[in-house]
Amino acid sequence: MKRRIGCGTLLLAALATPVLLVVMMSVLPTPAAPALQTVGQVAGIPQRMLTAYHNAVTRLPKEVPSCRGMRWAVLAGIARIESDHANGRTISDRGDITPRILGPVLDGSGAGGNHTAFPDTDGGHWDGTATSERAVGPFQFLPSTWTGSGRDANDDKLADPHNADDAALGAAVYLCGNGRNLADRTQLRSAIFQYNRSTAYVDDVLGWIDRYSQMATGTLPIGQPATGDARTVIAAALAQTGVPYSWGGGNANGPSRGICCSPSGKSGTNITGFDCSGLTTYAYAQVGIRLPRTADRQADIGTRIPASLGPGALRPGDLVFFAYDPDNDSTIHHVGIYLGDGKMINAPRPGTAVRTEPLWDHGFAGGARPL
């Protein structure tokens, strides 16, 4: 029988959740790659795809001079929903993606939830079917739409929706229309809705845009600086920086020996320290708030902050959660304390210590405000 313990994880292999890191680095131009001077690294986005997003933003003013507010995060938000950034595919230096990313055939049969037939417009050149249409490439263009929006962004004299650079620039052109200000939230929503006429789709894309842009730029709106009890909670947690991770360790009184061994073997009853929910329990105890022991139950305390609001809704001192399924609180497996500027303090995992780091990109499940 599986038993909940520590951070609220099941006694399964302790998997290291990817962390969104932004490290500015030089990208050496080659005959095949865009000559960008700096491109960040973002967990979950292949470097070559991120380069394509940056390249599209750089080239866009020549294509749609009246468009304003385009950012790489806007393109990343679209591509995250449409193809998960072509993850699992091979992306060449020239940006060519293999195998091709093909959506369901839109022949009206209902396959893939489609009940509307789209007549063929490309003779199967891009989508492999000469009897109907289907969306293609990392940005899932219909061939008919690509005819108007497609651009050659890698200077090979071909506008190819299966090429990362071309597709990203084509998506940027399409989102801009005749000239939008995408820094305006209303116009950004309209552009995304035009891309896919679904309010749920718009909300999903905006959520990813907010995560990428806020976490990566370090300009997350944090509201008022931490004061009062929030400052006390944060100070208490920061004072534990460097204390070892201990599976099941930590309580309202401070670090303690772990109550079990972690599956990785890096934590056990011989280590005095904190696990993630042990650290938050201790920090909040310093202001008289008694939290439940596991991360998933801590999500029930105070005001719940839905993941759909994005990290921008968090304030310093809030609990911040991560889950296997962000829409299901019972799958929450990690908790930290939000510091502002897209950062948190937490006890990450066995083999580490209490530390400050960027919010994790994967599994963000919102927060809670016990104060």
Residues near 164 by beta carbon (within 8 Å), at least 6 away in sequence = 48, 49, 51, 52, 86, 91, 95, 96, 97, 138
The 10s digit of each residue's pLDDT in 229-252 is 998 999 899 889 889 999 899 999
CA–CA separation, 299 and 335 (whole Å): 9
Average pLDDT over residues 108-135: 79
Element (H, E) at 273: strand 272-273
pLDDT band at 358 (very low <50, low <70, confident <90, very high): confident
Token digits for 30?
Answer: 């080659």
Tell which CATH architecture fits domain 25-101+136-217.
Orthogonal Bundle (1.10)
Question: pLDDT at position 27, please?
Answer: 33
- 87 contacts 47 by C-beta, under 8 angstroms: no
The 10s digit of each residue's pLDDT in 282-335 is 999 999 999 999 999 999 999 999 998 888 889 999 999 999 998 899 999 999
Where are the chain's structural domains? 25-101+136-217, 228-369
Question: pLDDT at position 211, please?
Answer: 78
- 357 contacts 238 by C-beta, under 8 angstroms: no
Of the candidates 28, 78, 34, 82, the residue with the CA atom closest to the CA atom of residue 54? 34
User: Does the model's pTM come out above 0.85?
Assistant: no
Question: pLDDT at position 32, please?
Answer: 35
Question: pLDDT at position 266, please?
Answer: 63
Alpha carbon distances (Å) from 174 to 46, 102, 149, 195: 23, 19, 6, 8
Fold of the 228-369 domain: endopeptidase fold (from Nostoc punctiforme) (3.90.1720)
- Residue count of the chain, please give it: 371
CA–CA separation, 63 and 169 (whole Å): 9
- 232 contacts 263 by C-beta, under 8 angstroms: no
CATH fold match for the domains 25-101+136-217 and 228-369: no
The 10s digit of each residue's pLDDT in 65-121 is 999 999 888 999 999 999 999 999 999 989 999 999 999 998 777 655 555 778 889
Residues near 181 by beta carbon (within 8 Å), at least 6 away in sequence = 67, 68, 69, 187
CA–CA separation, 324 and 338 (whole Å): 20
Question: pLDDT at position 217, please?
Answer: 40
Question: pLDDT at position 360, please?
Answer: 86
CA–CA separation, 121 and 366 (whole Å): 43
